[in-house]
Amino acid sequence: MDISIVICTHNPEERVFRRCLDAVNRLNLLNMKTEILIVDNNSSPTLIARDYVNKFLKDTPSAKCILEKKPGLTYARMTGNNEAQAPVVIFFDDDNEPDQNYALAAHRILLEKKEVGIIGPGVVKVDFVDGSDAWLETQRPFFQEMSVEKELYSNNQMYYEKCYPYGTGLVVRKKILENYHSILSRNGEISDRTGNMLLSGGDKQIVLCG
């Protein structure tokens, strides 16, 4: 297995989640061995009770759905990581639509740069599916919209902000996730989105473990 794709979701909106699943299905994987793990973070109704998700699973032999009843993005991510068979894990949110060559590019970078443990997209475009007003258009960076002209890397925790990868399409070597999981298990603390609480620190914690 080359790459494990983990999609974490809780009560996704069908029209948005369909776009995510379609984009993942269109990924150009060439000869890479890839699995797709959908983590249902206690949705109601469950994902496997939804016709369009069932169809995706039936049409995609490399995909399966896993249930994590404990609410919280970090719990969902760690459940996905525990099931992942590949040395590299790509996390997508249920509203992400990766570029067709995203997985290939991520795999190439990590093969070429053995010293790099975590990467993310250099370009993120936000699509407000129901349109937006003028004020919302000014807030695009808060939805992780970004565009960088060249690859940036750093191992300095004091100055990593310029090349900090967001949670959108986060690509992590599995050994880093195992270290992160070990730290969480010892500390017993989760700082991430849970239900209606949108405060999130999980992305930064994973990055700092790299």
Give the pLDDT confidence of 113-122 residue by residue, as tens digits: 999 999 999 8
Q: Please give the pLDDT value at position 189.
A: 55
Whole-number pLDDT of residue 182? 84
pLDDT band at 191 (very low <50, low <70, confident <90, very high): low
**pLDDT-based confidence at residue 142 (cuts at 50, 70, 90):** confident
pLDDT score at 43? 96
Could you read off the pLDDT of 22-59 as tens digits, one per residue?
999 999 998 899 999 999 999 999 999 999 999 999 99
Q: In this predicted structure, what is the pLDDT of residue 149? A: 80
> 170-192 burial by CB neighbour count: b if 16+ within 10 A, else e?
bbbbeebbeebbeebeeeeebeb
Amino acid letter for position 20: C
Provide the pLDDT confidence category of residue 190 given band limits of 50, 70 and 90.
low
* Antiparallel, parallel or unpaired: β 3-9 and 34-40: parallel
Q: By mean pLDDT, which of 41-50, 140-149, 192-201 is the weakest? A: 192-201
Return the number of other C-beta atoms located less than 10 Å from residue 137's C-beta: 10
pTM (predicted TM-score): 0.87
pLDDT for 26 equals: 96
% of the chain surpassing 70 pLDDT? 89
pLDDT of residue 85: 96
DSSP 48: G
Q: For residue 156, how far is the Cα from the chain centroid?
A: 23
61's CB contacts (< 8 A; 6+ apart) are: none
